[in-house]
Amino acid sequence: MSANTSRRYRVIAVSLYDGEATAADRITDILRRCGWPKANRSLVIREALLRLEEELSEKSPEDIFRYFVDRYARRAGQLPSSPNNNNPKPSE
C-alpha cells in the first residue's frame, strides 16, 4: 500500500467521565470475548462517531445544534421527555 492510499490517523486526547470510559471498556471486553482480539476503546469510540455522523448527515447546522442541546438537556433532566420530569415532585 502506498503512502497516498494508506489510511491516515491522528492521535488525539478525549476526556471521558468514569461511566463513559466504563461503558467503552465493557463493549471492548464483549468484542474481545466474542472473537475480536484487537478490539479497543479507540475502535468503540470511532464506531460511535461514525454512527453519530450517519444520524446527523441529513440535518442542517441548526438541527445538529438542537440535537446536542436537547440531548444535553435530557441528561440534565430538563426536558419534558426526560425520565426525571415524568414524575413531578409533589409540591411542598
pLDDT, tens only, 30-46: 999 999 999 999 999 99
Handedness of CA 12, 50, 43, 18 (dihedral sign): positive
For the full predicted model, state whether its pTM sits above 0.95: no
CA distance 82 to 15: 25
CA distance 22 to 41: 10
Question: Does some domain include residue 62?
Answer: yes
Question: Does some domain include residue 75?
Answer: yes
One-letter amino acid for residue 14 of the chain = V
pLDDT recorded at residue 80:
60
Domain residue limits at 40? 18-82
Q: Residue 83 carries which DSSP code?
A: G
Question: Does some domain include residue 11?
Answer: no
Query: 420530569: which residue's cell?
Result: 85
Question: Does some domain include residue 3?
Answer: no
Closest C-alpha among 68, 60, 57, 26 to residue 44: 26
